[in-house]
Amino acid sequence: MNISENGLNLIKSFEGCRLTAYTDAAGVWTIGWGHTGGVYAGQTIAQAQADQLLKDDLKAYENKVMKYDDTYGWNQNEFDALVSFAYNVGSIDQLTANGTRSRDTIASKILEYNKSGGKVLAGLTRRRAAEQGLFLTPMQAKTQYGWNQTQYGYWWQYEDGTYPANKWELINHHWYLFNPDGYMVTGWHRWDGQTCDPEDGSGDWYFLDNTSGGPYEGACWHTRENGAQEIWYVD
Q: Which of 105, 113, 69, 109 is nearest to 87 (CA)?
A: 113
CB 116 within 8 A of CB 123: no
Q: Which of 231, 235, 179 is nearest to 207 (CA)?
A: 231
Q: Which of 103, 107, 96, 88 is nearest to 68 (CA)?
A: 96
Q: Which of 83, 61, 94, 62 is nearest to 127 (CA)?
A: 83
Catalytic site includes residue 5: no
CB 128 within 8 A of CB 111: yes
Q: Which one of 5, 15, 112, 159 is the catalytic residue?
A: 15
Tell me the C-alpha distance between 59 and 124, whole Å.
22
Catalytic residues: 15
